[in-house]
């Protein structure tokens, strides 16, 4: 107590002296004198824009109307009223492909995931154009292997303004590129950079790689996926798809785009047929969530149906066991590997088939009655021979 009291005696006089010390009169006078000059500053003359700046501005204005904001919609149900609901499931960027209302984006934008695994794809998408108007869209085609999806926009066709297409086989490292997208929901953001490298490979979520990708240092962040990558002439040369990020956060200056030559080969097939043309094997599989819930299958694909007189039917692949009334009795075959590669999901199998469509024999490792066997499907057997010339 004595030490505390002494400390107080030593401190208080000094504090009181500091608080009582008036500010120098010259400081107050200076502040008041300079307050009188509180007027807007004159604007300095602007230097003329460089030819490069003028070109960037022009190309952005031209391309902006072709870039859209996408919001994937997942159907749901109100737990109280049981009324149908539409919940947002993800968002990203897309761009107008042609004058018929087709929008191109990344497949992963329309994918619903649970614990990092794909469980389904959304069918309905909300499309917001550059003028702020929103229209309904439906997914009409997609590719697992190339991470591409096509959406039909139900918008006025006069609002659909496709950008000119370039080609990606004549690109050079060092040339200027422009990326347009909606990073972090900020619509129609422009970034500029150069092509850092060519012939890269992009890893997808299905165990495959997209070849011939374009690497760029133009800032690309979450939300840019599905947006266009343009050359300095405003031509589409790629679709921004992936980034290298630190701890899952923003861009570190390494982005990747699917080349336009790949888009120009895949997109027309997706518009025409919904999927890339694959060999008909003659079997169907259960949804992974259903297989897990019904049978506890965590790995592989449960064969649900086999068509007769198809490669699968002729090879003896077995579907789910059911009685004459259609009641489920038990498992048939579970596909656990394709051509020696373990099957993790239906999407992975589709990706492998899309990248390298088989022509003759394919071998599946099949789990049947607790044992693993191999079954070979002959894809050529039963096909009509080609006419001789």
User: Is residue 147 among the annotated active site residues?
Assistant: yes
Report the distance separating Cα 106 and Cα 145, nearest Å: 11
Is the per-residue pLDDT at 8 higher than 50?
no
Separation of alpha carbons 37 and 155, rounded Å: 55
Partners of residue 209 on adjacent β-strands: 203
| Distance separating alpha carbons of residues 229 and 216, to the nearest angstrom | 9
CATH code matching the domain that covers 168-273, chosen among 3.40.800.20, 2.40.10.10, 1.20.990.10, 3.30.70.20: 2.40.10.10
The residue ranges of every structural domain in the chain are 61-159, 168-273, 283-378
CATH number given to 283-378: 2.30.42.10
Determine what percent of the chain is predicted with pLDDT higher than 90. Answer: 48
Residue 384 has pLDDT above 50, yes or no: no
Higher pLDDT, 372 or 290: 372
- Residue among 147, 231, 261, 333 flagged as catalytic: 147
pLDDT at 76: 53
The yes-or-no answer on residue 225 being catalytic is: yes
Per-residue pLDDT band for 209 (boundaries 50, 70, 90) equals confident
Residue 74: pLDDT band with limits 50, 70, 90: low
pLDDT tens for 78-131 read 555 555 555 555 788 999 999 999 999 999 888 765 544 554 577 788 999 999
Identify the active-site residue in 66, 71, 108, 231: 108
Residue 247 has pLDDT above 80, yes or no: no
Q: Kindly state the helix (H) or strand (E) to which residue 54 belongs, with its residue range.
A: helix 51-64
Question: For residues 153 and 140, what is the distance between their CA atoms, to the nearest angstrom?
Answer: 10
> Where does residue 20 fall: left (phi above 0), alpha (psi -120 to 50 degrees), or beta otherwise?
alpha
Phi, psi of 86 (to 5 degrees): -125, 115
282 neighbors 311 (Cβ within 8 angstroms): yes
Each residue's pLDDT tens digit, 119-160: 457 778 899 999 999 999 999 999 988 999 999 999 999 999
Concatenated DSSP letters of 39-53: -PPPPPPPPPPPHHH
283-378 and 168-273 share a CATH fold = no
62 has pLDDT over 90: yes
Sequence-distant (≥ 6) Cβ neighbours of residue 352 within 8 angstroms: 145, 207, 208, 338, 339, 341
DSSP for residue 109: G
The DSSP output letter for 275 is S
Which CA distances in Å does 278 have to 143, 312, 359? 11, 14, 10
Strand partners for 143: 148
Q: Does the structure show a pLDDT above 50 at 25?
A: yes
- Tell me the two tokens of residue 130: 């550059």
Burial 361-385 (b: 16+ CB within 10 A, else e): ebebbbbbeeeeeebebebeeeeee
Whole-number pLDDT of residue 84: 53
Distance CA 62, CA 133 (A): 18
Write down the catalytic residue from 71, 225, 251, 345.
Answer: 225
When the candidates are 3.30.9.10, 1.10.1200.10, 2.40.10.10, 2.60.200.20, the CATH number that belongs to 61-159 is: 2.40.10.10
Confidence of residue 204 (pLDDT cuts 50, 70, 90): confident
pTM of the predicted structure, to 2 decimals: 0.76
65 Cα distance to chain centroid: 21
pLDDT number for residue 236: 96
CA distance 242 to 248: 12
- In DSSP terms, 363 is beta-bridged to 376
Q: How far is 120 from 347, CA to CA, in rounded Å?
A: 10
């Amino acid at each position: 107590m004595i030490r505390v009291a002494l400390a107080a005696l030593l401190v208080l006089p000094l504090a009181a002296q500091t608080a009582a010390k008036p500010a120098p009169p010259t400081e107050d006078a200076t502040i008041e004198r300079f307050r009188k000059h509180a007027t807007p500053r004159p604007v300095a003359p602007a230097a003329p824009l460089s030819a490069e700046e003028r070109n960037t501005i022009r190309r952005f204005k031209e391309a902006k109307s072709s870039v859209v904001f996408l919001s994937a919609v997942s159907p749901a149900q109100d737990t109280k009223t049981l009324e149908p609901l539409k919940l947002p499931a993800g968002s990203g960027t897309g761009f107008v492909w042609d004058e018929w209302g087709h929008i191109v984006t990344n497949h992963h934008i329309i994918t619903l995931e649970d614990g990092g695994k794909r469980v389904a794809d959304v069918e309905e998408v909300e499309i917001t154009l550059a003028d702020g108007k929103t229209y309904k869209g439906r997914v009409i085609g997609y590719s697992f292997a190339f991470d591409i999806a096509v959406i039909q926009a139900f918008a006025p066709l006069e609002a659909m303004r496709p950008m000119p297409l370039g080609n990606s086989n004549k690109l050079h490292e060092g040339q200027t590129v422009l990326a347009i997208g909606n990073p972090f929901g900020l619509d129609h953001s422009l970034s500029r950079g150069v092509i850092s490298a060519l012939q890269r490979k992009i890893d997808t979520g299905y165990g495959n790689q997209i070849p011939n990708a374009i690497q760029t240092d133009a800032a690309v962040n979450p939300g840019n996926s599905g947006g266009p990558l343009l050359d300095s002439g405003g031509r589409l040369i790629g679709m921004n798809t992936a980034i290298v990020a630190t701890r899952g956060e923003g861009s570190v200056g390494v982005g990747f785009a699917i080349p336009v030559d790949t888009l120009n080969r895949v997109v027309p097939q997706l518009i025409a047929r919904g999927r890339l043309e694959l060999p008909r094997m003659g079997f169907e599989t259960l949804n992974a969530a259903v297989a897990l819930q019904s049978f506890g299958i965590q790995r592989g694909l449960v064969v649900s149906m086999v068509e007769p007189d198809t490669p699968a039917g002729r090879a003896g692949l077995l579907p789910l066991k059911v009685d004459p009334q259609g009641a489920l009795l038990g498992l048939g075959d579970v596909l656990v590997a394709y051509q020696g590669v373990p099957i993790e999901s239906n999407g992975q199998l589709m990706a492998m088939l899309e990248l390298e469509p088989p022509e003759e024999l394919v071998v599946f490792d099949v789990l049947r009655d607790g044992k693993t066997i191999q079954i070979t499907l002959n894809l050529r057997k039963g096909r009509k021979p080609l006419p001789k010339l």
